[in-house]
Structure 1
């Protein structure tokens, strides 16, 4: 045999997440150029698609970074926090102890952890704040003999199916229902919650089945992993630990660090749940009576601060909470002492502050010197730069879609095409419409704000229940957000697990298709069976 024929074929490398997102960004830009001047009507207002210029294309990632700066800063600080935790070796030792105690029964953790993440998704839209869990569960699953993608599956699919089956999630069904109510359209919350639970349970069973099957295969035969050799090496370098026959044990300092580590994430989860919207006023208990006596409303705050503090900022009662936290600190309640914002109203700025504080405390408790704390924090933050850049570039796609008017054109054209169709066709067509748009606008709150004033009234005019339309939006956008490359949370989380996007698609595509088919069946039945 000649040397030429004996040479093995060169392995074809997969595109990186950055390349995939930039290609998608270029495609969007080209589409806007082709449709330049096309008109659309949204909520009675006419608009025109503007073709993206070279400057628009090149600046999109930068504008995306500016739009996602709060998430990016949170990820960097989280990286510094994890860097300090890793320096104490409390996490790696703790994982070894956990694996020893599970004694090969780690599979039992998968449905439990996925249920916890799903609960967070359905109640308050747990998504970006899951980023910190990817590293933890990737390390845990690897130590137990699985691959890092098994850990990312638990987080991404768990929280994702929760958002898909949103019940009281204020960022999805909450905003969508409010958009319809403001137009005078009655929205039956019982229908939303009931359909949300059904969609959640069906999707949960499908997702858990696929995750368990994959994890079992990898455990039995590591070569069955979908991860490439390069991905496995990167994951091993980041989270792998040398196997030892010695029994792992935690020191007193390491136990203290782990308690603080656990408290950090528990408080973060508690802080993101919109307790007041759920009727729980515990975290603002001392503020309630004060607010009742002064009778301060959102409109009062807008009027009071419009002249000297807001400038050109446009506010509505729905976004006063996010824009005017500093102006209502006095009424924030007892739990606002740390950040000026009570638990239940935190967002990324407050979470960033929380993890920065806990990083310092863990460093001190773990016995690190001042120089070690600073050096490890900076090193950990630096390790997150690839994640930060992926989030920024992916956000640039939705920024370009919004600024050129392409999203509005697609939405307006599709809604006109669905007029006069049957219940089944209308439900499936609406689902597919939201499925398409959610690739380009991964933000559920943004999608609800833009689309629901169009699709909700259309459903009502055709004699269908608007609440079902709310759940069509929630289910379709939720399914897409299990796989879309324009989601910073997905791309950032996969980067933390050292899993390439193309690898994730190989696994997740069949999960998304199964969930999408099941959702369309459920929603089509609901569209016909539930009266308007």
Structure 2
């Protein structure tokens, strides 16, 4: 027997796919168990279970298509090196004033997080900022904080992030539940600003402490040694960098892409702003409606089974828009009424324009777009499989059973208890399903209707999900971007948790207060 002991292999955690498939199987088993005692629930067959992911993909096709196009868009932007060069230029211009750089860069990363869920795209910045901050007399952990917390609080306070609030809203609109995007964006901004202030405060305090006394770093001697070996002699941050004219053009169109998307998602007409529909014209149309028409539409909306005992007929007058205004020239839909289809068209167009402005060849544009879209396939499949869970729950009647049971248990519950309980529920569940898109797709078809049934605004529930899952994703080890970024900064996960736990706790408390107030004051 050998005297040497082989090191134990590191146990790998289950992937989001496995967790969701296990959840899908659990749902199927539960329906079988309940079908015997609950007449409203139909037991799932093997075919129902196997077909659920495919049906989920069909049900979420608009979201999936947008995610793929967004991936292609980002792939082309990254090929031009405009983002990385822009960050490097900013770093050099702040030479000697790196402390002022912290809130600026964290704000930029937060903007990326709140608009398009910037997460995996940040990995490349860990090395750059770790080297920069070490050269300025800080440690590599300071650089990691700037990236991770900046993008993290942006995702937590998502406004138009398609992977969080976008998927969650889509899950509810698919159930004919209207989601007020004005509430989502407004509440997202409040959460973003509050979380950003907390994060910047902690990072600045730590950076000042380390700058004044390097021995007060949270990093171990081994971590410091590894970071110095990797970055102390790194001369890249001392090299003069500059944006080319093409890269400046790319950044302008990159910013325009998300500015327009933000504008397009805000329900301007509901806010009394008719600027984007100026010049529109409409006329009234009257059509004859029969009993068969009503039944057909009822079935199409998946509202159940409708039987009409009497012959019903009549006429229906509706207003038809002939021209949706000047801002509808691109997609046929004016700004303020866009959703996934229009946004997909917009980002596809901007991807081509950015490729041309960036000087990419036709082959490079196509190749980078396809590669970027391919990088998003894991997200697309998670959305599809996750939506399969809700499809199975809906088709077997389990969703209605759970909803009615939960509504009965929470009947009479105050908005305070409901908001806090929902946040804690999402906080715990996010450790099991770290994918925000997966969590939104699985849970929102239950929690959104529950909030509406209890007289609360579903848009607030969307933000409860976003805030809770966002807080968890600041520390969860199942987040590949976190683990990869920390590795690049030569920071151990335990060191990060030691620093981040108090930030997460502070952000969670503030978020609960904000969301509870919103649950009470925002009308349903």
Do both share a fold (TM > 0.5)? yes
Please give the per-residue CA displacement for 1:215-249, whole angstroms capped at 9, x wherever unaligned: 9999997968xxxxxxx9xxx9xxxx993642111
Written as runs of structure 1 = structure 2, the 5 A alignment for 1:203-218 is: none
Judged with a 3 Å threshold, the aligned counterparts in structure 2 of structure 1 residues 397 and 218 are, in CA distance, closer, same or farther, namely farther
Please give the per-residue CA displacement for 1:80-139, whole angstroms capped at 9, x wherever unaligned: 222222333333322321222244344213664587589xxxxxxx6xx523x3355444
Q: 2:470 aligns with which of 482, 486, 497?
A: 482
Residue equivalent to 1:442: 440
Query: What 5-or-longer segments of structure 2 have no aligned partner?
Result: 131-141, 221-226, 304-318, 430-437, 486-492
2:426–2:469 CA contact under 8 A, matched in 1: no
Check if 1:432 corresponds to 2:421: yes
| Residue 253 (structure 1) shift | 1.8
Q: C-alpha distance in 2, partners of 1:445/1:34?
A: 24
Residue equivalent to 2:361: 369
Judged with a 3 Å threshold, the aligned counterparts in structure 2 of structure 1 residues 89 and 328 are, in CA distance, closer, same or farther, namely farther
Residue equivalent to 2:23: 24
Q: 1:282 aligns with which of 249, 252, 275?
A: 275
Check if 1:35 corresponds to 2:34: yes
1:99–1:143 CA contact under 8 A, matched in 2: no
2:250–2:357 CA contact under 8 A, matched in 1: yes
Judged with a 3 Å threshold, the aligned counterparts in structure 2 of structure 1 residues 147 and 114 are, in CA distance, closer, same or farther, namely closer
Written as runs of structure 1 = structure 2, the 5 A alignment for 1:235-254 is: 243=236, 245-254=238-247
| Residue 514 (structure 1) shift | 5.5
Residue equivalent to 2:407: 415
Q: C-alpha distance in 2, partners of 1:158/1:432?
A: 23
Judged with a 3 Å threshold, the aligned counterparts in structure 2 of structure 1 residues 482 and 328 are, in CA distance, closer, same or farther, namely farther
Mean Cα deviation higher: 79-88 or 353-362:
79-88
Judged with a 3 Å threshold, the aligned counterparts in structure 2 of structure 1 residues 267 and 84 are, in CA distance, closer, same or farther, namely same
Query: What 5-or-longer segments of structure 1 have no aligned partner?
Result: 40-46, 119-125, 182-188, 225-231, 317-326, 457-466, 486-490
Judged with a 3 Å threshold, the aligned counterparts in structure 2 of structure 1 residues 66 and 354 are, in CA distance, closer, same or farther, namely same
Aligned length, in residue pairs? 443
Q: C-alpha distance in 2, partners of 1:29/1:509?
A: 37
Residue equivalent to 1:357: 349
Q: C-alpha distance in 2, partners of 1:385/1:527?
A: 35
Judged with a 3 Å threshold, the aligned counterparts in structure 2 of structure 1 residues 311 and 11 are, in CA distance, closer, same or farther, namely closer
1:52–1:404 CA contact under 8 A, matched in 2: yes
Check if 1:108 corresponds to 2:88: no
Q: C-alpha distance in 1, partners of 2:205/2:48?
A: 44
Provide the aligned C-alpha RMSD in A.
Answer: 5.4
Judged with a 3 Å threshold, the aligned counterparts in structure 2 of structure 1 residues 331 and 94 are, in CA distance, closer, same or farther, namely same
Residue equivalent to 1:270: 263
Judged with a 3 Å threshold, the aligned counterparts in structure 2 of structure 1 residues 499 and 16 are, in CA distance, closer, same or farther, namely farther
SS at match of 1:330: strand
Residue equivalent to 2:128: 143
| Residue 149 (structure 1) shift | 8.6
SS at match of 2:12: coil
Q: C-alpha distance in 1, partners of 2:56/2:208?
A: 39
1:73–1:352 CA contact under 8 A, matched in 2: yes
Q: C-alpha distance in 1, partners of 2:245/2:451?
A: 54
Q: 2:57 aligns with which of 51, 55, 65?
A: 65
1:154–1:211 CA contact under 8 A, matched in 2: no
Written as runs of structure 1 = structure 2, the 5 A alignment for 1:325-474 is: 330-419=322-411, 427-428=416-417, 431-432=420-421, 436=425, 442=440, 446=445, 450-456=449-455, 473=461
2:403–2:450 CA contact under 8 A, matched in 1: yes
Judged with a 3 Å threshold, the aligned counterparts in structure 2 of structure 1 residues 148 and 313 are, in CA distance, closer, same or farther, namely farther
Residue equivalent to 1:8: 7
1:110–1:208 CA contact under 8 A, matched in 2: no
Judged with a 3 Å threshold, the aligned counterparts in structure 2 of structure 1 residues 401 and 246 are, in CA distance, closer, same or farther, namely same
| Residue 280 (structure 1) shift | 1.6
1:253–1:366 CA contact under 8 A, matched in 2: yes
Residue equivalent to 1:228: none
